[in-house]
Structure 1
Amino acid sequence: MSELLGQPVEAAAGLSVRGAEAVDQAAAASTRTAVTMAGVPGQLAAKDPTLWGPEAEAEARVRLGWVDTHTRSRELLPQLAELTSELADLDHVVLCGMGGSSLAPEVIARTLGRPLTILDTTDPGQVRAALADRLERTVVVVASKSGSTVETDSQRRAYWQAFLDAGMSEAEAGRHFVIVTDPGSPLAATAAEMGAFTVLADPNVGGRFSALTAFGLVPTALAGVEVTELLDQAEAFAGSLASERDNPALALGAALGAAATAGRDKVTLISDGGGIDGLGDWAEQLIAESTGKSGIGILPVVVESPTSPGVTGKDILTISYGGALTAGELNDGEATSGGTPDVAVNGPLGAQFLAWEYAVAVAGVVLGIDAFNQPNVTESKENTNKILASGAPTEQPSFTEGAIEVYAPPGVPNDLAGALRWLVDGIHGDGYLAIMAYLDRGADADAARLRPALAEAVGPPVTFGWAPRFLHSTGQYHKGGPQVGSFLQITGTVDVDLPVPGKPYSFGELQAAQAAGDRQALADRKRPLLRLHLTDRSAGVAQLLEAAGALPKRR
């Protein structure tokens, strides 16, 4: 990374950004200069809701609390200390939440080395495994801003029933729950009925911007994280946000916007090994859901390592991130598969959260979109509800090969290798391939190896998402962003299902309905879609990896 060492660094409060100036200067006109002359830094720091245009103003007015939520979150500290003491005997913390309610806590816990079980799935196998793990010592944090998220409600119901089945009274079961939600949400009322502990979140912060609110702090504090340190880091960094110079978040946002408007509208996110674990998954949701709408957007691609396939490309901006480096240092570690990353972001985690949120808001200004709504996320939800009510449509596989049933449009070759090649060959120009795995993130973890395997053959950006969590993340980009995506959906046979207590469907039926609802949303947009159903999950994943690895590279 010696090339980056020679580039100007912009730094504040221990967080540095390198390479952003070169990205901005490579554009026809400086985005940094334009947003600075327009007064964006000061206006954004002052939470001006007019920055994203008149149509976005109403939404922005109630969604800019993230700019200084770290100051209000200090009011939670006494309550968190009391909760941690009261529940000290419950040392297994499970977080039931989707999207912004789970991604930031996962990064915090992984980075700081604290155990936290994330349950952000409807896969019955994964849910059953969680329920079987140290139940009597478990505290369940149920986190939902709206209070109506179907996945989270289903997980709450399953845990409640499991506690009762274990012989607990309702009062005893209620003690095992901590509810995090917005004031006045349906979940707040449910919490009162359950006798659960309730922590109310900042209502003026959207889910994907909620890392430093109760959504990020409650589960991690219970898991043993000293969350005050995160707030201190953000507060120290916040002083730079109104500045025209020495503002690394502005530099990052201008680079994102400049690259996207110049045709580099994909961003690969790579850990540099500098001590922050999993930030790419959190930033993926922040970028995709904030920018992917109105037919435009920035596609984030989380890659496994600097040497993974698909890190670089003609329409890709490569960004590395880490936490252990100071403003004057840069790790001379492994280079990316294409050489040096375009931009490097290094600094403490609390500052990283605030810097990326600010940068994405700036990119929204540059792109001319509302960075705070998610107009297409509800589409798949509505499709799911309709399918649960009326039943899934009957489908017959186009053909079966080994442990894989293949569902493909007419004219697709009747063999797995040919079907994959059809999907890959249909990606043109600025297109991308999205792998969507409706599987068990634990038991079926090898499925994630498909991303680098297919990236090796495809060439264009390849993303991977576990379902249904990606529906709350890149799912918005898939439907609302540029309609250039091709899609590989992977589902699997459920050997042992699990009922959702109090509902007329099971977790397996809910998972299948979500997959079918998402297929319908993509079909309505006439996007290329191949569905592979694994009749034996382990054998099917192995078979699929072998087929992907045998694909010839595209020229």
Structure 2
Amino acid sequence: MSFRISVSGAAAEAVRTAVPTLVDDLVASSITALDPALWGTEAEEEASRRLGWTESVSVSRPLVADILALRDTLRAAGVTRIALAGMGGSSLAPEVITRTAGVPLTVLDSTDPGQVLAALNDGLEATALVVSSKSGSTVETDSQRRVFERAFRAAGIDPAERIIVVTDPGSPLEASARAAGYRVFTADPTVGGRYSALTAFGLVPSGLAGVDIAELLDEADAISLALAVDSPENPGLVLGAAIAAARPLRDKLALLADGTHIVGLPDWIEQLVAESTGKQGTGLLPVVLEQAAPELSANLPDLQLVRLVDDAGREIFGAHGDEIRVSGTLGAQFLVWEYATVVAGRLLGINPFDQPDVESAKIASRGLLDSRPEPEPAAFISDGIEVRGTPHVIGAASDLASAVDALLEELGPDGYVAVQAYVNRLDLPELAEVRDLLAGLSKRPVTFGWGPRFLHSTGQFHKGGPATGVFLQILAVPAEDLDIPERPFTFGELIQAQASGDASVLADHGRPVLTLTLTQPAANISTLFAALR
């Protein structure tokens, strides 16, 4: 089979109690029939414009030939490297698709100047850039496009021969791209960004990089009928109930890749589920874990384990203990998780298609870029690390370790810690180790996000979900900044504004925030780890 699911413990009880009602209410067939009334009257207008993902396989089929033809044209012109400028759903799906296929793709989903420079300086002469933005006005993607255009021209390359645009029809990016002579792929406007894995947003960069995208669509197609049938075995209904119908609700969703051939799927699930469900004070918080994560042995009552496995060749497939176990092809996983997420939205009583709190951080960032105020002075500096934070956190701190302690003291029995690293993840990958250290210290679930990309995914949950999170921001002073053509700010100023803007919005929502700025990143890492230990 293209997808299998097994449940035990609380998840099995949730399936037993919730799925019969979902079947009786014809939820699966109603989703497939594009019924916008499934999520209540307040969500109906939004839902009526956001169900196109159920038809992505058939709508996307005609794109395959055009994508492969362009790939052949680019290769004939000497292009051997595809780079992708995109954020959130525009980058996470292609990243999973290409990594799983073992195909190289340079993903630029950051505004850190060092990371942008690395993408620019890695074989530009053989590079084509896919610029991917649903709205066509994403500030990160617009800035990345501008520096690539300048770099191509400086290298004597016509940008029109190397830049491919993916956007919604009628967006400002479509108009400007066509005027510039760029190749443009328009996506189905009835598909939200986080549901767009099987649309042009997932297929164009992946196909150009060398993935067999027709096979990916075949994998999704193979599960489509099972998802449309009102049956107790429908995997979308079973998974949706398993993650959202337990009583009491287990609202932390531990995602563990345990032998699956799919690379990076938990990161894609994280943005889909968090942004879709984290609103109106409720939601499901995905927590991406590795095999040795402290949470796995902590017996946390609000943590539901989802184990992603491969069942090929196994005589027995089943969940053990108290977990959800899923296996399947990548195309099937995409489609089943999309169905399950909107089913979870119905069970939680929220609209799974809007993101009312994402825009607040963008507005705050734009305000800081427009006014360019002097940076807020640090409360204190500890071994080269500037320390700032909300009053309850910083007022109780005298050094780095006590600042971390003060942040964790704000953590309630049902809370979580969110680590937000606004740094060059190519230069500082070891920062991800902070997650396990904090999980061991706090005895609570800890999420880790690279900024600013998480603002397009889990950022919605942070502001709209349960008010139980505490937030650790980690920033770094860049070794080199980079200007943005025809913009009055640099990449260094942009990423600083994004971090500061989000911190201010979190503080306005009453969330505790601790911000640590590494003034000499390579040297400050050991100091930070020592404080956390």
- Under TM normalisation by the shorter chain, which class is it? over 0.9
CA contact (8 A) 1:327 1:346 kept: no
Match of 1:205 in 2: 191
2:58 to 71, 83, 96: 71
Give per-residue Cα distances to partners, 1:410-449, cap 9 Å, x unaligned. Answer: 5222111111111112101211110011101110111111
Structure 1 residue 393, shift from structure 2 partner: 4.4
- Quick one: distance in 2 between partners of 1:326 and 1:475? 39
> Would you say how many aligned residue pairs link Structure 1 and Structure 2?
525
Q: Does 1:98 align with 2:78?
A: no
- Quick one: distance in 2 between partners of 1:246 and 1:29? 11
Structure 1 residue 323, shift from structure 2 partner: 4.5
Q: Does 1:265 align with 2:251?
A: yes
Describe the shift of the 1:28–1:301 C-alpha distance in structure 2 as closer, same or farther (beyond 3 A). closer
Matched position secondary structure for 1:239:
helix
TM-score, normalised via structure 2 length? 0.96
Q: Does 1:417 align with 2:401?
A: yes
**Structure 1 counterpart of 2:222, one-letter code:** A
Match of 2:301 in 1: 314
Matched position secondary structure for 1:50:
helix
Structure 1 residue 257, shift from structure 2 partner: 1.4
Structure 1 residue 307, shift from structure 2 partner: 2.5
Structure 1 portions without partners, runs of 5+: 1-12, 333-338, 551-555
Structure 1 residue 27, shift from structure 2 partner: 4.8
Match of 2:358 in 1: 377
Q: Does 1:500 align with 2:493?
A: no
- Quick one: distance in 2 between partners of 1:413 and 1:301? 28
CA contact (8 A) 2:452 2:498 kept: yes
- Quick one: distance in 1 between partners of 2:489 and 2:103? 35
Describe the shift of the 1:492–1:24 C-alpha distance in structure 2 as closer, same or farther (beyond 3 A). closer
- Quick one: distance in 2 between partners of 1:155 and 1:411? 39
Identity %: 48
Larger displacement relative to structure 2 (406-415 or 130-139):
406-415
Structure 1 residue 544, shift from structure 2 partner: 1.0
**Structure 2 counterpart of 1:397, one-letter code:** A
Matched position secondary structure for 1:457:
helix
Match of 2:103 in 1: 114
**Structure 2 counterpart of 1:14, one-letter code:** S
Q: Does 1:540 align with 2:524?
A: yes
**Structure 2 counterpart of 1:152, one-letter code:** T
Describe the shift of the 1:264–1:255 C-alpha distance in structure 2 as closer, same or farther (beyond 3 A). same
Q: Does 1:511 align with 2:466?
A: no
Larger displacement relative to structure 2 (193-202 or 346-355):
193-202
**Structure 2 counterpart of 1:82, one-letter code:** A
Match of 1:241 in 2: 227
What's the C-alpha RMSD, in Å, of the aligned pairs? 1.7
**Structure 1 runs (4+) greater than 6 angstroms displaced:** none
- Quick one: distance in 2 between partners of 1:496 and 1:393? 20
- Quick one: distance in 1 between partners of 2:12 and 2:99? 36
**Structure 2 counterpart of 1:478, one-letter code:** H
Give per-residue Cα distances to partners, 1:465-511, cap 9 Å, x unaligned. Answer: 00000000100000111111100011111221000111000000000
**Structure 1 counterpart of 2:466, one-letter code:** P
- Quick one: distance in 2 between partners of 1:60 and 1:38? 18
Q: Does 1:40 align with 2:24?
A: no
CA contact (8 A) 1:323 1:349 kept: no
Matched position secondary structure for 1:133:
coil
2:202 to 216, 220, 239: 216
- Quick one: distance in 1 between partners of 2:268 and 2:314? 23
Match of 1:458 in 2: 442
Match of 1:7 in 2: none
Structure 1 residue 392, shift from structure 2 partner: 3.3
Matched position secondary structure for 2:448:
strand
Matched position secondary structure for 1:345:
strand
1:151 to 125, 140, 143: 140
Larger displacement relative to structure 2 (399-408 or 229-238):
399-408
Structure 1 residue 340, shift from structure 2 partner: 4.9
Structure 1 residue 331, shift from structure 2 partner: 9.3
Structure 1 residue 394, shift from structure 2 partner: 3.2
Structure 1 residue 326, shift from structure 2 partner: 6.8
CA contact (8 A) 1:17 1:345 kept: yes
CA contact (8 A) 1:490 1:532 kept: yes
Matched position secondary structure for 2:216:
helix
